[in-house]
Amino acid sequence: MTSTAADEQDNPRWILVADDEPSVRQFVERALNYAGFAVTAVPDGNAALAALEKRAYDLLLTDIVMPDLDGIALALKVSKDYPKTRILMMSGYANQRQRAHNLDCLAHEVISKPFTLEEITRRITTALAA
């Protein structure tokens, strides 16, 4: 039987969300909290690296296009320094999604924006189970 985030209330799966768009960041944070995940949401790649220094995360969900440290640079750093952390990327730009698809060895999947609450929860659950 496969466990879900709701089954793990005593030991929730930790998700780190990095997105510079406040509305997307808050939507994803609420959706994942509702699904039973423990979530830290940050506005950029540098804040994500700071969060990773404080605790272990099961999964990083990062936007590709962000100021300063973008999602691809963040994914490269996380895959090297935190190899147990799964990585999902998201973008609303087709050319950025293609750029990230070239990093298949780092990221489990690239998710197209916009997405639904059900879709993002399902894709994260799938990535954690892989």
- Output the tens digit of pLDDT for each of the chain's 130 residues: 344 444 445 689 999 999 999 999 999 999 999 999 999 999 999 999 999 999 999 999 999 989 989 998 999 999 999 999 999 999 875 555 455 555 555 667 788 888 998 999 999 999 999 8
Tally of domains in the chain: 1
Question: What per-residue confidence (pLDDT) applies to 7?
Answer: 47
Sheet architecture: strand order including 109-112 = 38-42, 14-18, 59-63, 86-91, 109-112
List the CATH number of the domain containing 41.
Answer: 3.40.50.2300
pLDDT on residue 93? 54
* 19 inside domain: yes
Question: What is the C-alpha separation between 93 and 113, in angstroms, rounded?
Answer: 8
Residue of 128, 7, 107, 12 lying closest to 63 (CA atoms): 107
Domain-located, residue 130: no
User: Token digits for 77?
Assistant: 């750093």
pTM of the model: 0.85
Residues 2, 71: Cα–Cα separation, whole Å:
30
